[in-house]
Structure 1
Amino acid sequence: MKHLAALNKYFWKYRNRFFIGIFFVITSNYFAVLAPEVTGFIVGKVQQHLPGAKPVAHPKQYDAFLTVFINWVNSLTFAQIVTVCSITILILALIRGILMFFMRQTIIVMSRYIEFDQKNEVYQHYQKLDASFFKTHNTGDLMNRITEDVSRVRMYTGPAIMYLVNLVALIIFCLVNMLRTDKQLTLLVLAPLPLLALTIYIANTIINRKSEKVQALLSDLTTNAQESYSGIRVIKSFVQEKAMLGFFSKNSEDYRKNAVGLAKVEAVYFPSMTLMIGLSTLLTVFIGGKMAIADPSKISVIVEFVIYINMLTFPVSAIGWTASMIQRAAASQKRLNEFLQIEPGIQDAPHAVDAPVKGDIVFDKVSFTYDNTGIKALKDFSLTIKEGQRILIMGRTGSGKSTLAQLLLRFYDVDNGNISIGGRNVEAYTLQSLRTQVSYVPQDVFLFSDSVSNNIRFGLNEHADMPRVQQAAANASVDKEIQGLQNGYDTILGERGVTLSGGQKQRVSIARALIKDPQIMVFDDCLSAVDAKTENEIVGNLYRVLQNKTAIIITHRIFTGFKFDNIIILEEGKILEQGTHEQLLLLDGYYAELYRIQTSTGQSAA
């Protein structure tokens, strides 16, 4: 239950709806318990008009509101009393129905607002978390928490709260009226309640434990399905449908067993509630019947008590349902709190400012190790990139090329050393300022399930008109191919851009970066899926576009049509070779060997 305390801020935010809703719940139950009293009053009046009826020795005491009504009704004739009381019972039912409508319109609607806010909070927090977090957590689990867990929490903030307040209010009103009518009979018919409370406590403990397990297994199942859908082409190409189905079936079976186990506990739980209520009804009828035989004037009391017990049937039976919702919500909120309480490893420093990101880029004795793998990507790495220079960074897989780009954009922070731009440490810039003013084309291209034009516009925080979008696409040598699509720039791409080829996706990603027109651009092996002719065209366009801009191009291939100010060869996180194209050829090392291999295979641009 302590985990649900995180929701108190939402209850306070929507306190008007919350407290007004509680008022409607309490008021509706007040009018509900008036009906049994009015019914008992009518039965008593009927008894008084029967032949041989004895006067009531101790007239029942009513609350102030009903006392005024009874005093007025007593001044009428018997026929008028029956008519007025019958109409009054109907009016009370109508008033209660209206109040219940407003009760749902306040509390249930409030829960929807809380659900909306909570999903936004979780989503915004996910966006703040650093790259390391997403490397160690499955997408399916993240999706399950923001959907299934938030939905279960909503069942607490809406229905559970409403039914709980309804239950408490109705029990209090009924108990007060029952004690006022007959204390001994009240204590007898409510005797099963302690046993009911014990049953609830034991069952809730089991339900809470099983709910946490079920939610965790559901996350595993969602992750399994999400990975299968994303990698469906790989699965089909390796004919692994049967194997993946077996894996999914195993996870599904684990979920089924635990879900069925939880359902079995609840299957015992809810009938137990009904049994306790049934015992109370039987006690009322049995004991009340004996009392009525001894004193016929007690018949009105028995009628009133039976109505009270019937009124309590649903609320008391809903104890199990409400407790189950609360326990499930607590388990889900615990899972949400686990993430919401994680502080982003990468965030704005206290002194960070929004400032122009330009000037020389300096890597000063930078070392970095990936926490999740222990791989040391950079070792005492130092490099100065003058403003306006175009730098080519090459090296074998795992040499640390992509790490340089990710450290520059602060996807990670260095372990030792520092990185500065224009004499200011990158940590001195706000993340938004830094990443807004640096264009980055990642190695792993990602396109959204949106139109081609909107995927390119994504590079800008402001709206970009079509001429600007088309110009960026033209510079990336993809404009003609986009126009050849069925709906041109309005063509909706499939998930992760599956509609396009690998080379087309890379070029759309380049267009997205070019439309920002920043002073610093980083391209991380973004031409690996294009042919030599297209690559030459893109390189030519980039050479023109990148005039007077600082450009870092990371690749496995040599661009002969692009004159670089400096070429860096990395090996195990350190600079192996450095110089211009001509200088490195004279050095006759790794670069010269790679150049000879590429030119001998006829790759003019690579």
Structure 2
Amino acid sequence: MKELKYLNKYFKKYWFKLLIGIIITVIARVFSLIMPSYVNKTLQTFEAYLGETMTAVEAKSTLFEYILIIIGAALLSGLFTFLMRQTIINVSRYIEYDLKNEVFDHYQLLNLNFYKKNRIGDLMNRISEDINQVRMYVGPAIMYGINTLTMFVCIIPLMFIKAPSLAAYTLIPLPILSVLIYQISKIIHKRSTRVQEFLSTLSTFTQESFSGVAVIKAYGLEPQINTEVNALALEGKDTSMDLAKVNAWFFPLMILLIGISNLFVIYIGGRQFINGEIQSIGIIAEFILYVNMLTWPVAIVGWLTSIIQRAEASQKRINEFLLEEPAIKNELDAPTPIEGKINFKNVTFTYEDTNITALDNISFEINPGETVAFLGKTGSGKSTILDLVARLYDSSSGSIEIDGRKIKDLNLDSLRSSIGAVPQDAFLFSDTIENNIRFGNENASFEEIVDVAKKAVVHQNIEGFTNQYNTILGERGITLSGGQKQRVSIARALLKDPQIYLFDDCLSAVDTETEEEILTNLKQVSKNKTTLIVSHRVSSAKNADKIIVLENGRIIQEGTHSELNNTDGYYKELYLNQLSEKE
């Protein structure tokens, strides 16, 4: 259970509620133990009446008293059992809530390399299915474990006090049961781990299939996907059946051993009563009740073992992520104001997952309020510059400074809150268009949302929808066209009104006329704002204060549109080619 030690901090957090729950559990079980002894006393009363040592009136009065005690004890036991669930099970839900938040918060701290190495389906499974398995450990397992322990601690001593030899015979099957449980639990642990790993694989496959359904349909891959699903379903069935077959041994074995205990009570107890070693037949009835009261606690041991083994396997998978250190850390707690001066000094960056050097010893300076465009072929390192400015990655070598301070010395929240980024692949949430734009500023009014939509030249498109700004978008904004998604993303960035704009080829799906209108609006909006534009089009870059041309991660040209257009090189060639295409 070493992996489950991670949860000890939550037990400390809710120790008082857990303590109350444990006390209530013990009280509930103590009240339930009253019935067997009074059943014994009831039978002794009958024996006394039949033996004419007690009158009928006395017997009736005594029996009525015992019945009231049994009913009262049962009611109190039921009440405390209800309170037990209200405390311990509630604590498990609190811990589930805290753990999910911790995992989700940690996911957000991890950098982009983490998400490149791990699949979304696996991440989803760990924060849902795995945490649910852990919740079963911190709730039901603890509750029933305390319940079981209390029953054993209370019932077994009582049995030995009342009839030592009969108790010894009755409890013979229990050590055998313990050995069997130990052996089976080891197998359960291995098979539970395989089940959880398979669920991650299944979640990943289904998530990717649903996200890529358009590609699947376009290429007619439905039969192939169905074949793969069938294979996964068969694998899942076999994996789950392997676990179920082991679990299936528990209850039959326990019922068998409890049944043997009952036979011992009846046979051995009957002989001892005949031989005079036991003075009352009520002892046998009391022992039968004790044995049957132990049936559920003994049976639950197997279930508890299975829960703990599953929780151990799940917590191990959760810990793998929780113990992973974020590559990007906020080194400063105090907020840092951002003005927008950016300085790259001999910056080199290599992607960890591919070992590709995207930037190779580049240097440039951007003053506050300047607009700088980055051009170059695919893979030249343009988008990487924007990622480094937003500190989605840290450079491999060299120095990046914002306002004269190293980027690592800035408060990360202050830096990112001062940036309005529009990625090349615009991401929209499955929500209304209004809320997708409001993502840039949750306190914005509807009039402000409409204003930025007009500046992004998407207002008319939105007005044409049946529900206009209340239109619910499909997953990843699939309801909209590529150009509409890009313009909604631009509106979102404009609503944020940041100090630094990062536009990553965000007009690639927009026609030339619309592009010109948006660029004109952006020029007005981004006055006194530092703006970095990545593009493959000269039309998006020609009005920039400075244009930087990249090739294989190096700067090959730098200057204004007129300067570069009067110099032979990549920019002039690109401009002439695009000009002839436009004509």
TM-score computed with the length of structure 2 as normaliser: 0.97
State how far apart, in whole Å, the 1-side matches of 2:498 and 2:574 are.
Answer: 32
Tell which deviates more after alignment, 593-602 or 500-509: 593-602
How many angstroms does 1:560 deviate by? 6.4
Structure 2 unaligned blocks of 5 or more: none
What's 1:14 paired with?
Answer: 14
List aligned pairs for 1:65-464, cutoff 5 A.
77-295=58-276, 297-349=279-331, 351=332, 353-460=334-441, 462-464=442-444
State how far apart, in whole Å, the 1-side matches of 2:290 and 2:540 are.
Answer: 91
What SS does the aligned partner of 1:346 have? coil
- Whether 1:539 aligns to 2:525 is no
What SS does the aligned partner of 2:50 have? coil
State how far apart, in whole Å, the 2-side matches of 1:51 and 1:256 are.
Answer: 64
What's 1:60 paired with?
Answer: none
The equivalent position to 1:572 in structure 2, one of 542, 546, 552, is: 552
State how far apart, in whole Å, the 2-side matches of 1:249 and 1:426 are.
Answer: 50
State how far apart, in whole Å, the 1-side matches of 2:424 and 2:325 are.
Answer: 27
What's 1:556 paired with?
Answer: 536
State how far apart, in whole Å, the 1-side matches of 2:575 and 2:252 are.
Answer: 79
* Residues 371-397 of structure 1, C-alpha deviations (whole Å, 9 max, x = no match): 111111111111111222111101111
State how far apart, in whole Å, the 1-side matches of 2:206 and 2:263 are.
Answer: 52
8 Å CA contact 1:540–1:561 kept in 2: the answer is: no
8 Å CA contact 1:346–1:411 kept in 2: the answer is: yes
How many angstroms does 1:352 deviate by? 5.9
The equivalent position to 2:561 in structure 1, one of 581, 594, 598, is: 581
List aligned pairs for 1:447-486, cutoff 5 A.
447-460=428-441, 462-486=442-466
Query: Where has structure 1 moved over 4 Å in runs of 4 or more?
Result: none
Amino acid at match of 1:418: S
Tell which deviates more after alignment, 558-567 or 283-292: 558-567
What SS does the aligned partner of 1:315 have? helix
What SS does the aligned partner of 2:582 have? coil
What's 2:39 paired with?
Answer: 39
* Residues 292-335 of structure 1, C-alpha deviations (whole Å, 9 max, x = no match): 22227341111110010011111111111111111111111111
How many angstroms does 1:496 deviate by? 0.7
What's 2:581 paired with?
Answer: 601
8 Å CA contact 2:439–2:492 kept in 1: the answer is: yes
* Residues 416-446 of structure 1, C-alpha deviations (whole Å, 9 max, x = no match): 0011111111111111100000111111211
Amino acid at match of 1:464: A
Amino acid at match of 1:231: G
State how far apart, in whole Å, the 2-side matches of 1:560 and 1:200 are.
Answer: 71
Structure 1 unaligned blocks of 5 or more: 56-73
* Residues 480-517 of structure 1, C-alpha deviations (whole Å, 9 max, x = no match): 11122111112111111111111000000011111111
What's 1:488 paired with?
Answer: 468
Amino acid at match of 1:330: E
Aligned residues: 581
How many angstroms does 1:535 deviate by? 1.0
Amino acid at match of 2:547: I
What SS does the aligned partner of 1:463 have? coil
TM-score computed with the length of structure 1 as normaliser: 0.93
State how far apart, in whole Å, the 2-side matches of 1:382 and 1:253 are.
Answer: 56
State how far apart, in whole Å, the 1-side matches of 2:463 and 2:472 are.
Answer: 13
How many angstroms does 1:566 deviate by? 1.2
State how far apart, in whole Å, the 2-side matches of 1:571 and 1:256 are.
Answer: 52
What's 2:493 paired with?
Answer: 513
* Residues 50-78 of structure 1, C-alpha deviations (whole Å, 9 max, x = no match): 2488x9xxxxxxxxxxxxxxxxxx9x922
Amino acid at match of 2:329: Q
How many angstroms does 1:359 deviate by? 4.1
8 Å CA contact 1:540–1:562 kept in 2: the answer is: no
What's 1:49 paired with?
Answer: 49
Tell which deviates more after alignment, 544-553 or 157-166: 544-553
8 Å CA contact 1:367–1:379 kept in 2: the answer is: yes
What's 1:59 paired with?
Answer: none
- Identity value in percent: 46
State how far apart, in whole Å, the 2-side matches of 1:105 and 1:250 are.
Answer: 43
